[in-house]
């Protein structure tokens, strides 16, 4: 099976798992960590162009699990995290990872945040090395073993 096919299958499986837990994923820490993860994956290479920003924003509002939250609130939070990362990636990444780490109190939420990062990273058909690296860093921030997610 080609890498892209495995990635699509994995992302689809993760989305199904997330939808099954949708009712458990309603906390503010999950919301914030998810938006931080989306921004981190989007800017994983140190920058984010407007088309990529728009594509991720569209994925956020169309994700069934994230429909637990108002779309405009998610958009505002995502944009704030992206702005932090684009202003100073290294410094912004520290701050964003701290917000991601807030989800570690609830293991189901922590895993869901990582799954969202993988889904966002693979949405364009290429879960590249820089995206994998930031999701791996998020795993460490959440006290989750990266190998659990094939990272």
What's the pLDDT tens digit per position in 93-138?
Answer: 999 999 999 999 999 999 999 999 998 888 777 788 999 999 999 9
3, part of any domain: no
4, part of any domain: no
11, part of any domain: no
| Number of separate domains in the chain | 1
Please say whether the beta carbons of 124 and 149 come within 8 A. Answer: no
| pLDDT band at residue 73 under the 50/70/90 scheme | very high
115, part of any domain: yes
43, part of any domain: yes
What stretch of H or E contains 23?
none
- Nearest Cα to 67, choosing from 34, 99, 110, 106? 34
| CATH number where 85 lies | 1.10.3680.10
> How far is Cα 149 from Cα 62, in angstroms, rounded to an integer?
23
Q: What residue numbers bound the domain in which 57 lies?
A: 27-149
Q: What is the pLDDT of residue 103?
A: 95
**How confident is the model over 77-98, as a mean pLDDT?**
94
116, part of any domain: yes
- Nearest Cα to 120, choosing from 88, 81, 73, 70? 81
32, part of any domain: yes
74, part of any domain: yes
pLDDT, greater one: 64 or 140 = 140
Query: C-alpha 46: how far from its chain's center?
Result: 16
């Amino acid at each position: 099976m080609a890498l892209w096919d495995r990635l699509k299958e994995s992302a689809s499986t993760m989305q199904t798992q997330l939808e099954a837990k949708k009712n458990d994923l309603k906390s503010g820490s999950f919301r914030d960590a998810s938006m931080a993860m989306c921004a981190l994956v989007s800017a994983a290479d140190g920058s984010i162009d407007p088309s990529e920003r728009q594509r991720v924003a569209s994925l956020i509002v169309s994700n069934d699990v994230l429909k637990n939250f108002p779309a405009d609130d998610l958009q505002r939070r995502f944009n704030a995290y992206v702005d932090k990362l684009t202003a100073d990636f290294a410094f912004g990444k520290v701050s964003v990872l701290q917000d991601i780490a807030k989800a570690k109190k609830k293991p189901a939420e922590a895993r869901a945040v990582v799954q969202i990062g993988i889904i966002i990273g693979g949405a364009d058909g290429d879960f590249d090395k820089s995206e994998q690296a930031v999701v791996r860093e998020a795993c460490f921030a959440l006290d989750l073993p990266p190998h659990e997610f094939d990272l």
